Amino acid sequence: MFDYSPAPESKDLVKFQASYGHFIGGKFTKPANTFSTINPATEQVLAEISHGTAKDVDSAVKAARTAYEKTWSKLDGATRGKYLYRIARIIQERSRELAVAETLNNGKPIRETRDADIPLVASWFFYYAGWADKLDYAGLGSNPRAHGVVSQIVPWNFPLMMLAWKIAPALAAGNTVVLKPAETTPLTALLFAEICQQAELPDGVVNIVTGFGDTGAMMVGHPDVNKIAFTGSTDVGRKIAKQIAGTDKKATLELGGKAANIVFEDAALDQAVEGIVNGIFFNQGHVCCAGSRLLVQESVQDVVIKKLKARMENIRLGDPMDKNTDIGAINSKEQLTKIDRLVKQGVKEGGEAWAPSCVIPKNGFWYAPTIITGVSPANTVVREEIFGPVLSVMTFRTPAEAVAKANNSQYGLSAGVWSEKGSRILKMADQLNAGVVWANTFNQFDPASPFGGFKESGYGREGGRHGLLSYLKGSN
């Protein structure tokens, strides 16, 4: 038997402090009002984190405002770009450390933080560094202006990557920021604060305030904040939209999703199966654009499901620090409970759940990769975002039916189309009501490509020139 021996990455590559304060005006505050952040794979405490108060938020916004007025808005684009390039290079230099930190705090496998998260983080800073001195060409006429101070709130599924998606374009456009990482995954944002110090970024340009939803609400409500950028659940997105209604605050909201992954009978089936796996089991399915609804043409349903199950038997669930792990830990007990509840609901409504045989570790939060067959667009598991490694399988007979079923969702973030026929792909892309449509691939990200949704998946775009525009206004 060819069993892979344990191949753990070293935990010693990162040293966390026992406790962290907020990062305000270039300095860490004294830890206060702390809560524990854990490793979801072991439930061990990694560090104590400060829960931001109104006073903390206010001093962070003040620091950001001062930095904006006195320093950052006075620098020319090339100089801002210089800082961003510097940050990008430091991220590359410290990539192993950041990958380990992210895996420890989030539970996602080291293979993904090493090969996807951290390289994308660096690429985002490199990409927007290049824009900093070219804002005249962003499409808003000459000399577009920054908004000023931006409050940014990021989720726990890609902690550092979401930070990069937010901070890189904001700084390139000339804004200063106050960012709050999710309460379960604050550590890489705090390491990023150290990187800002290392890059000698002017004090107050980036401020990190940690805490829970109440801290975030204070960041949204603060009167001296000009723009909100939020990635997270549709529920919270709705609250933010209500909170800022009637003010002149701008907002971009990147919310939930329930992507259809559509496999036609003429698709390259083996690669489509890979794409289905990558679409829903990447990052334990904690992906807003995850391909959580499989739509497979009836004529190839049996072969696709058979191949998918065979492929799923090879998925390795376990210690996220092991280099051969494909599926790590669920980020929190709360999330695990939600996934479990929704799958049980799916089975209750007549769905058939199947998971490969895999050993679930004793400690930590885990959910085996699961597919649910025998469900229809009327079922809860097909309608609600599960945000876990759970795939609902449905069939279709014609392209029109595929489009109708795919678009029958409150969300509209992403979709996938699998076909060897180019014209069909283009027609589907045209008809699918989704911000991103992947053809013969899934979950591909690039800083040059805009990303964002329709309907309850939010508004505004991140990435590319479009992502830059969210942080700029015209000069007239």
Partner 1 sequence: MPTIDPEAVVGSRITNQSLSRWLHSLPGVDKVGLEARTASLGTRSIKTASKAWALDMAIQMMDLTTLEGADTKERVRSLCLKAITPDPTDLTTPQPAAICVYGDMVKHAKEALGKNKIHVAAVATAFPSGRASLPVKIADTKDAVNAGADEIDMVIDRGAFLSGNYLEVYKQILAVKAACLRKDGTRAHLKVILETGELETYDNIRRASYLAMLAGPDFIKTSTGKVSVNATLPITLLMLQAVKDWFDQTKIQIGVKPAGGIRTAKDAIKYLVVVKETAGEKWLTPKYFRFGASSLLNDVLMQRQKLTTGHYSGRDYVSVD
Supply the residues annotated as catalytic. 254, 288
The token pair at 323 is 């280099």
**Strand 390-396, strand 293-297: pairing:** parallel
- Contacting partner 1 within 313-352 (CB under 8 A): 314, 323-324
Count the residues of the shown chain that bind partner 1, applying the rule CB under 8 A.
Answer: 25
CB atoms inside a 10 Å sphere around CB 340: 14
Phi, psi torsion values for 452, nearest 5 degrees? 165, 175
The token pair at 281 is 């089991």
Of the candidate residues 221, 268, 455, 466, the single one contacting partner 1 (CB under 8 A): 268
- Contacting partner 1 within 424-443 (CB under 8 A): 440-441
Question: Least distance (Å) from partner 1 to the CB of residue 269?
Answer: 4
Q: What character string, x for contact with partner 1 (CB under 8 A) and - otherwise, covers 97-116?
A: --------------x---x-
Judged by CB, which is closer to partner 1: 164, or 272? Answer: 272
Judged by CB, which is closer to partner 1: 269, or 381? Answer: 269
In contact, 292 and 390? CB cutoff 8 Å? yes
Cα–chain-centroid distance for residue 214? 21
In contact, 455 and 410? CB cutoff 8 Å? yes
In contact, 108 and 160? CB cutoff 8 Å? no
Phi, psi torsion values for 129, nearest 5 degrees? -60, -40
Question: Least distance (Å) from partner 1 to the CB of residue 81?
Answer: 32
Interaction between residue 6 and partner 1 (CB under 8 A): yes
Using the contact rule CB under 8 A, the part of the chain among 57-65, 72-80, 267-275, 398-406 near partner 1 is 267-275
Interaction between residue 78 and partner 1 (CB under 8 A): no
Of the candidate residues 58, 97, 194, 274, the single one contacting partner 1 (CB under 8 A): 274
**Strand 414-418, strand 260-263: pairing:** parallel
- Contacting partner 1 within 299-318 (CB under 8 A): 306, 314
In contact, 258 and 432? CB cutoff 8 Å? no
Q: What character string, x for contact with partner 1 (CB under 8 A) and - otherwise, covers 47-76?
A: ------------------------------
The C-alpha atoms of residue 280 and residue 291 are separated, in whole angstroms, by 5
The C-alpha atoms of residue 50 and residue 340 are separated, in whole angstroms, by 30
Judged by CB, which is closer to partner 1: 1, or 359? Answer: 1
Residues that bind partner 1 (CB under 8 A): 1-7, 111, 115, 266-272, 274-275, 306, 314, 323-324, 420, 440-441
